[in-house]
Amino acid sequence: MTRSVTSPRFGAAHALAMGYDPERYFRRRANEGETFAVGLPGLGEVLFASTAAGVREIFGAPATLFSPPTPNPIAPLVGDGSLILLSGERHRRERTLLMPSFHGERMRAYADVMAHAAAEEIESWRPGADIAVRAAAQSITLHIIIRTVFGVSDPARRDEYERVITALMQSYIAPLMFVPALRREVVGLGPWARFVRLRAQFDALLSEQIAERRRTGVDGYDDVLSLLLSATYEDGTSLSDEDLRQELRTLLVAGHETTATSLAWAMYHIHHDDGVRERLVAELAADHSPADVAKLPYLNAICQETLRMHPTVSIVLRRLNGPLTIRGVQRSEGDVVGVAVPALHFDPKVFPEPDTFDPDRFLLRKPTPFEFTPFGGGHRRCVGAAFANFELAVVLATIVKGAELEMSAAERRRGQPRSVPRGIAVLPSREIVLRRLRRS
């Protein structure tokens, strides 16, 4: 039997509520049933699944049934040839080319770089000083991307990348993302003109790095850029410089602020719950290499519980290339469907007492890919998911072992920040502040 759903009345109010606190909004809407509709600007009425059964019907459908919804707000940042925006055979070819860079021994080879980036950040924290956790996390993850993805190891060159990337990411403000009419400049002035200049500066840095690698060859280099330069498609062809720039920008956008946000939330919960922190400190007491530390069960459970409570991307969207029925609701070609990740992750039938930060739930049971989707799912699951999990564990362990931090009574009284959208991710609504007690 088929059902029907309609977008709620007062759509503008719903859009505001979703923008103000997407986690709370989607969890509340999930009370209406397994599916609900939301009107989104430029996409029309989007049907969201909020239970594992509905998610299975989306992620389990044939890959040919879906395309990424367009126009996509991050297209100017990553480029129309980005893996995120491709579909069909081209998406498969690009994904096949990128996947080896983020798995197996190749990924584990980056463990020392990740630990060094965290240790370098810790060295800048004075005893007794307040630490802005998300800002510190962003510094660490950006350092890691610049070294492991772009292959930049020279400190002065790294500083230049950090300066340009930080300015670029800050320049692509929400109005430019969601109101395409604002993407114009007047005699070289305005927010769009500034963004275009910074994007050109970043592309120039990438072009220099690509040219240098092509000139010297990739032997002896382990960074993602070198791997992509040496990779070929099934027909023997390889990525052009423009394709490389777009994929490198994609890896920056998808892997910088998202992982930094997860790290900040993990630090919040570890230092908000003394029992969690003490168990983690005990697990980390033994001597582990950076690569081996990522295998520790309680550390991994903390990372997974953080991603459950605070998925960095609240919604997963697909445009239909043909008809699909989701929990009895029919949708047609051209319609957009999606997964409301916060609603899914707070389903009390799957995650009892979902408002409680409880890493043990991931030690007792491994959820299915349709119950737990912090990196999306199906054939479009984030290509860097394993890398992100590994990085989160290595950096978190390095910080907890390398610095004794505490959350002040005032910070505890403020309560947990809400999540707010920014770019492709959702971030804590305020900076999370911890204090360093002493050098460890």
Please report, in range form, the residues annotated as the binding site for heme: 382
Rg (CA), the chain: 22
Which among 311, 283, 274 has a CA at the least distance from the CA of 393? Answer: 283
> CA dihedral defined by 366, 372, 373, 378, rounded to 10 degrees?
70
Structure tokens at 384: 């860097």
Burial of 349 per CB tally in 10 Å (0-12, 13-18, 19+): exposed
In a 3-state reduction of DSSP, which class is residue 63?
Answer: helix
Which of 66, 104, 109, 108 is closest to 85 using CA atoms?
66
As a whole number of angstroms, the distance between CA 106 and CA 115 comes to 16
Q: Using CA atoms, how far apart are residues 101 and 226, in angstroms rounded to an integer?
A: 10
**Rounded to whole angstroms, how far apart are CA atoms 280 and 268?**
14
Phi, psi of 230 (to 5 degrees): -95, -10
Instruction: Identify each DSSP E strand in 303-417 by its residue range.
Output: 315-320, 324-326, 329-331, 336-340, 403-406
Neighbours of 68 (CB within 10 A): 18
Residues marked as binding? 382
Q: What is the DSSP letter of 386?
A: H
What's the CA gap between 160 and 5, in Å, rounded?
51
Other CB atoms within a 10 A radius of the CB of residue 109 amount to 12
Hey, is 276 helix, strand or coil?
helix
Q: Which two tokens stand for residue 424?
A: 């492709």
Residues 303 and 301: their CA atoms lie apart, in Å, by 5
Distance of CA 332 to the CA centre of its chain: 30
